[in-house]
């Protein structure tokens, strides 16, 4: 195997660093409500982003929709197109407001109610230690699966360690547990 396990420690040379988060990834980082312990569930809140963005737009669209409904001088509401435009322009901001108020995605050890999260990374790392799973660059039967799996083990462990470095620096037993998941296992479960 040409890819070697990369073990993590508090005093390592050239430690991995957190990437500069831009665009949607920066927003996702802002939304996370995280404890220092990566084994705790993650919850995401969209309220502080969605409500300030969609509330003014919702008020504006409501005012415009009511104005068009009350003043029908150009026959706007007589056809289906007018009603579709009014309802569509109201649906967009109110959908964003509803997501901000009621949508609470998250992830824990047993289930994922969002696309990604670092506890999910830790769970994938554990699965890679027990069985062959489908990887983006290698099928389970691919002869290069072991090399691709090691690349994934290194990357997943690095991501977890970077995001929770303070936790792992103060809990060496958990760092040892994380490092034990990085090398390939002696055997895989059936």
- Boundaries of every domain in the chain: 46-102, 108-182
For residues 121 and 156, the answer to whether their CB atoms sit within 8 Å is: yes
Structure tokens given for 142 = 């691919």
Q: CA-to-CA distance for 40 and 63, rounded, in angstroms?
A: 44
pLDDT tens readout for residues 77-114: 777 887 888 888 899 899 888 877 777 666 555 555 54
Instruction: Tell which wins on pLDDT, 39 or 32.
Output: 39
Q: Is the pLDDT of residue 76 over 80?
A: no
For 23, 117, 118, the CA distances from 29, given in Å and listed in that order, are 10, 10, 11
For residues 117 and 155, the answer to whether their CB atoms sit within 8 Å is: no
| pTM score over 0.85 | no
């Amino acid at each position: 195997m040409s890819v070697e396990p990369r073990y993590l420690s508090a005093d390592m040379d050239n430690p991995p660093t957190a990437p500069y988060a831009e665009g949607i990834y920066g927003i996702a980082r802002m939304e996370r409500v995280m404890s220092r312990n990566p084994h705790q569930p993650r919850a995401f809140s969209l309220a502080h982003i969605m409500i300030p963005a969609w509330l003014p737009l919702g008020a504006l669209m409501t005012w415009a929709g009511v104005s068009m409904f009350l003043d029908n001088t150009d026959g706007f509401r007589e056809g289906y197109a007018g009603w579709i435009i009014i309802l569509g322009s109201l649906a967009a901001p109110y959908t964003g407001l509803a997501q901000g108020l009621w949508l609470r995605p998250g992830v824990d050890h047993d289930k994922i109610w969002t696309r990604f999260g670092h506890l999910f990374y830790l769970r994938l790392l554990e699965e890679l230690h027990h069985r062959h799973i489908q990887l983006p660059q290698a099928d389970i039967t691919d002869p290069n699966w072991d090399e691709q799996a090691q690349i994934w083990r290194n990357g997943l462990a690095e991501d977890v360690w970077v995001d929770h470095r303070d936790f792992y620096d103060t809990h060496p037993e958990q760092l040892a547990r994380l490092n034990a998941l990085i090398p390939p296992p002696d055997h895989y479960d059936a």
